[in-house]
């Protein structure tokens, strides 16, 4: 059977508030605390890597390589990560991922010149591959530690936290990188992973059957990956929602990549701070979007249409960025607008996937969702970076990708919304 949340069962939701959730649900509180500290360090780390690569090479393709090392390993590792999340102790898996990532980020201290760029890419890829094990485990745990009326709030809380930490980390991280250098940031990021591990250790999970033989899990991985993909493919309610983030990424991956370059262009004398301003705007938008969506769209039957609308609105926001590219603070406003829509898309689609998936498959469903969006983002970033190297203007590229996103949103809506209505009617 499919878990609570089938299309014909969706109704008006009586969700608890954020403060009530944190006050009354100890396990969500501990998971949230670990998320806060690790994300804060992550966004400092991200800006430090962007600045390091731009300073060492000055190349759009080299910067695109950093984006790819934060996406492709996630795509490649996500299928087996989903298997691990479904077969191993999820709490221990998350703790182990935090400890390994703490060690990996310290390796960035050895990147000193352009000849060391290969090491930066290897370490960044390894860091993200390990993160691929953490995310499906966390998302699969969330329905187990929440009660009725808490899951959407918990998802919105984690998404808003990601966004707030992006905004705060980007706004503060740029000046910190410029003032103290990248090494300080890497030490800070390693420390936050260890603090996160302590928080995760405090989460209490219901007993479940786990596979203790990790080698056996990996050996059986291909079969279980295939089972997960088959599960998504043969369950239309799950399959329809699993494409929502990827549909956004058809234009969105290249647009986020373009933000880093646009920050340097709009704030040429600000150093890393200029990139931080636009990434902070992105964080502010993705924080506002889930909160608004949770408040306004309480009828889950409308969510598939909302997902399509969010993709369209995000593309319109970036068309606005291209139109006002000479007015830096108007650009900031349109970035906030565009990513409010993307944040709503992310939270609503994640909640629907969690609700429509059985626990035994939930980790692999989440991993498949990540696989789709990261592959799409990666392809878009490669295309965008090569177009820039070939001489296409940054503003022209942003406008083109924004238009692509509008078209993709309309196409997604045309495919999904009628199917959802038919499923409810049947």
Domain map (residue ranges) of the chain: 14-425
- pLDDT of 214 > 60? The answer is no
CA distance 369 to 351: 12
- Indicate the DSSP class of residue 220: T
Report the pLDDT value the prediction gives residue 8, as an integer from 0 to 100.
34
Geometric angle at alpha carbon 43, from 38 and 46, rounded to 5°: 120
Report the pLDDT value the prediction gives residue 222, as an integer from 0 to 100.
59
Contact 412, 226 (CB under 8 A): no
Tell me the per-residue pLDDT of 286-311, one tens digit each, with 9 for 90 and over.
888 888 887 888 888 889 999 999 99
Question: What pTM was computed for the model?
Answer: 0.70
Report the pLDDT value the prediction gives residue 4, as an integer from 0 to 100.
38
Q: Buried (b) or exposed (e) across 347-375, using 16+ Cβ within 10 A?
A: bbbbbbbbbbbeeebbbbbbbbbbbbbbb
Model confidence band, residue 89 (pLDDT cutoffs 50, 70, 90): confident
Report the pLDDT value the prediction gives residue 216, as an integer from 0 to 100.
57
How many other CB atoms are found less than 10 A from the CB of residue 106?
Answer: 14
Contact 69, 127 (CB under 8 A): no
The residues near 42 (Cβ < 8 Å, ≥ 6 apart) are 165, 169, 189, 192
Range in 12-21, 65-74, 352-361 with the lowest mean pLDDT: 12-21
Q: Indicate the SS3 state at residue 299.
A: strand
Range with top average pLDDT, 5-19, 235-249, 366-380: 235-249
Tell me the per-residue pLDDT of 260-276, one tens digit each, with 9 for 90 and over.
888 878 877 666 777 78
Tokens found for residue 214: 């990790």
Report the pLDDT value the prediction gives residue 132, as an integer from 0 to 100.
78
CA distance 47 to 50: 5
CA distance 91 to 124: 24
CA distance 257 to 378: 10
Contact 117, 62 (CB under 8 A): yes
Torsion angle, CA of 66/351/249/308, rounded to 10 degrees? -160
Q: How many CA atoms lie within 13 A of 161 on its CB side?
A: 21
The residues near 329 (Cβ < 8 Å, ≥ 6 apart) are none
- pLDDT of 220 > 70? The answer is no
CA distance 178 to 192: 20
Q: What phi-psi label fits residue 391: left (phi over 0), alpha (psi between -120 and 50 degrees) or beta?
A: left
Alpha helices by DSSP H, listed for 110-150, are: 117-145
Report the pLDDT value the prediction gives residue 9, as an integer from 0 to 100.
36
Contact 217, 393 (CB under 8 A): no
- pLDDT of 141 > 90? The answer is no
Give whole-number Cα distances, 295 to 9, 31, 203, 298, 315, in Å.
20, 23, 28, 7, 23
What percentage of residues in the chain have a pLDDT greater than 90?
Answer: 27
Model confidence band, residue 166 (pLDDT cutoffs 50, 70, 90): confident
CA distance 68 to 390: 19
CA distance 28 to 96: 19
Geometric angle at alpha carbon 365, from 292 and 216, rounded to 5°: 145
Model confidence band, residue 53 (pLDDT cutoffs 50, 70, 90): confident
- pLDDT of 13 > 60? The answer is no
CA distance 388 to 260: 13
What's the mean pLDDT in 185-195? 89
What's the mean pLDDT in 371-375? 83
Tell me the per-residue pLDDT of 301-345, one tens digit each, with 9 for 90 and over.
889 999 999 999 999 999 999 999 888 889 999 999 999 999 999
- What's the maximum distance between 2 C-alpha atoms anywhere in the chain? 62
- Residue 12 sits at φ, ψ, to 5 deg, of -65, 135
- pLDDT of 351 > 50? The answer is yes
Specify the CATH class of 14-425 in words. Answer: mainly alpha
CA distance 168 to 277: 10
CA distance 251 to 243: 14
Report the pLDDT value the prediction gives residue 229, as an integer from 0 to 100.
78
Q: Residue 3: exposed, middle, or buried by beta-carbon count in 10 A (0-12, 13-18, 19+)? A: middle
Give whole-number Cα distances, 426 to 348, 357, 420, 422, 423, in Å.
23, 20, 10, 6, 5
State CA 182 to chain mean position distance.
23
């Amino acid at each position: 059977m499919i878990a609570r949340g089938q299309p014909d069962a969706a109704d008006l939701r009586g969700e608890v508030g954020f403060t009530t959730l944190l006050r009354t649900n100890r396990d969500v509180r501990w998971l949230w605390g670990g998320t806060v500290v690790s994300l804060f360090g992550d966004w400092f780390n991200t800006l430090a890597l962007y600045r390091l690569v731009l300073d060492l090479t000055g190349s759009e393709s080299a910067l695109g390589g950093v984006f790819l090392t934060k996406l492709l390993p996630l795509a490649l590792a996500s299928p087996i990560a989903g298997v691990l999340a479904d077969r191993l102790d999820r709490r221990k898996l998350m703790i182990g991922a935090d400890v390994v990532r703490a060690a990996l980020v310290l390796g960035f201290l050895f990147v000193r010149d352009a000849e060391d760029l290969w090491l930066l890419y290897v370490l960044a890829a390894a860091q993200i591959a390990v993160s691929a094990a953490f995310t499906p485990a966390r998302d699969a745990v969330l329905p187990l530690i929440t009660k009725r009326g808490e899951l959407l709030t918990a998802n919105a809380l984690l998404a808003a936290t990601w966004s707030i930490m992006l905004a705060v980390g980007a706004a503060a991280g740029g000046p910190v990188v410029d003032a103290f250098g990248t090494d300080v940031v890497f030490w800070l990021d390693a420390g936050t992973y260890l603090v996160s591990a302590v928080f995760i250790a405090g989460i209490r999970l219901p007993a479940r059957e786990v596979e203790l033989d990790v080698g056996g899990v990996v050996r059986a991985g291909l079969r279980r990956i295939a089972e997960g993909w088959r599960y998504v493919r043969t369950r239309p309610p799950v399959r329809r929602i699993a494409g929502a983030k990827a549909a956004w990424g058809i234009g969105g991956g290249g647009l986020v990549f373009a933000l880093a370059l646009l920050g340097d262009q709009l704030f040429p004398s600000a150093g890393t701070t200029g990139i931080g301003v636009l990434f902070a705007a992105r964080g502010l938008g993705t924080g506002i979007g889930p909160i608004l969506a949770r408040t306004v769209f309480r009828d889950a039957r409308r969510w598939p249409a909302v997902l399509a609308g969010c993709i369209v609105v995000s593309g319109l926001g970036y068309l606005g960025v291209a139109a006002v590219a000479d007015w830096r603070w108007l650009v900031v406003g349109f970035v906030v607008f565009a990513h409010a829509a993307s944040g709503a898309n992310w939270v609503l689609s994640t909640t629907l996937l969690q609700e429509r998936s059985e626990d035994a498959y939930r980790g692999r469903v989440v991993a498949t969702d990540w696989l789709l969006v990261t592959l799409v983002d990666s392809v878009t970033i490669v295309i965008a970076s090569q177009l820039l190297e070939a001489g296409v203007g940054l503003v022209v590229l942003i406008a083109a990708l924004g238009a692509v996103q509008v078209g993709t949103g309309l196409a997604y809506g045309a495919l999904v919304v009628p199917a959802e209505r038919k499923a409810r009617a049947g």
